[in-house]
Structure 1
């Protein structure tokens, strides 16, 4: 084995290790701990950053003792003693995003293992990139929509309902990355087709 192949093997191992470590950390901090926070007994308060209509006035602050706002423009909505349903609503957007990131990292880790064998342009890698692009698109669309819906459910029927504005913005970065991955899918398809044609000539 020459120095170049050894260096390539080391790079592949480092990539796999980095992806595996990232997968473990995201799974722990973005999935497992939020789940435990929903069902666990130690979390007695919960909060979320929300958009606030500066012109809105709270009808009666005493009616919202369990649900308060701190700040203007972007405020921190604090639930002093959330129940199980409230904790689930608070955790749902972040938990969904964490699961999507876990799926992306798991797929990339499987792709990295094919690189070790030198099989870049294989049909399953094209399918894996399609999964990554779909997950990124969901990160940019589904997670913000869940944030908006759960926030509306949390403030519904309270004095804060008129002050909190629903944030309907999509996340631009994941959508941009989804487009880049879409371009990479076309490159992988071309590479796979070229490799198949080349093997047919041998």
Structure 2
């Protein structure tokens, strides 16, 4: 008599619903609303947090912040670069890192949702899931590198040729946590691949 699985079809449905809801929220708040802000249909993003070369004062009066070219830089070390009336190009540069990050997250969620659907059959060790995990791992790795780089490049483009350029150095902060996570997911994908191959070999012996 086989052991009864602790995972039920109801659990699968709940997991799929949670992933579907997460996908919807990321699509609306991470992609749709920023895109509408870029084209001017809703209030756009107008602020970018930056690292400053020299400490500026937290604004209390009009003279407490560095201003120019329609921009205001206020804060110390971690400062806010605020655009009074960003044009289309500035709106796009401000929203681009979030848009790209959200699109990559949507790809990950879509792949996880496809994996969750395989739980209905009671077996996740299938070749397709191994490939999906590999794509997820590579996507996380791309985001770990592309996210900070894109943030630094777009910030440089926003302040290039303005009085803010001397205040805001080109810098990108990379964190090892996402790189480690990416390699862990890639390793898990290899486990799934070998599990699927072992199962196929075992079934061939029966």
The TM-score normalised by the length of structure 1 is 0.90
The answer as to 2:112 corresponding to 1:96 is no
Q: Which moved more, 1:102-111 or 1:138-147?
A: 138-147
Tell me the equivalent position of 1:9.
9
SS at match of 2:29: helix
SS of the residue aligned with 2:51?
strand
Structure 2 contact 55–77 (Cα < 8 Å) conserved:
no
Aligned equivalent of 1:153? 157
Q: How does 1:49-128 map to 2 (within 5 A)?
A: 49-54=49-54, 64-128=68-132
Structure 2: unaligned runs, 5 residues or longer: 57-64
SS at match of 1:111: helix
Paired with 1:37 and 1:135, the residues of 2 have a C-alpha distance of: 26
Tell me the CA shift for residue 55 of structure 1.
6.4
| Alpha-carbon displacement from aligned partner over 1:106-163 (angstroms, at most 9, x marks no partner) | 0000010011112311111111111101110111111111100000000000011011
TM-score under structure 2 length normalisation: 0.88
Which has the higher relative contact order, 1 or 2, with Cα contacts under 8 A spaced 6 or more apart? 1
Greater share of residues in helix: 1
SS in 1 for 2:187: helix
RMSD: 2.2
* Contiguous gaps of at least 5 residues in structure 1: none
Q: Which residue in 2 is equivalent to 1:24?
A: 24
CA–CA distance in structure 2, aligned partners of residues 92 and 35 of structure 1 = 9
1:192 corresponds to which residue? 196
Q: Does the Cα contact within 8 Å between 1:133 and 1:181 map onto a contact in 2?
A: yes
CA distance in 2, matches of 1:50, 1:76: 6
CA distance in 2: counterparts of 1:106 and 1:45, whole angstroms:
27
Stretch moving more, 160-169 or 103-112: 160-169
Q: After TM superposition, which residue ranges in structure 1, 4 or more long, deviate above 4 angstroms?
A: 4-7
Shift of 1:17: 0.8
Aligned to 1:140: 144
| In 1, Cα distance between equivalents of 2:161 and 2:202 | 66
Size of the aligned set, in residue pairs, is 197
Cα distance in 2 for residues equivalent to 1:149 and 1:195? 47
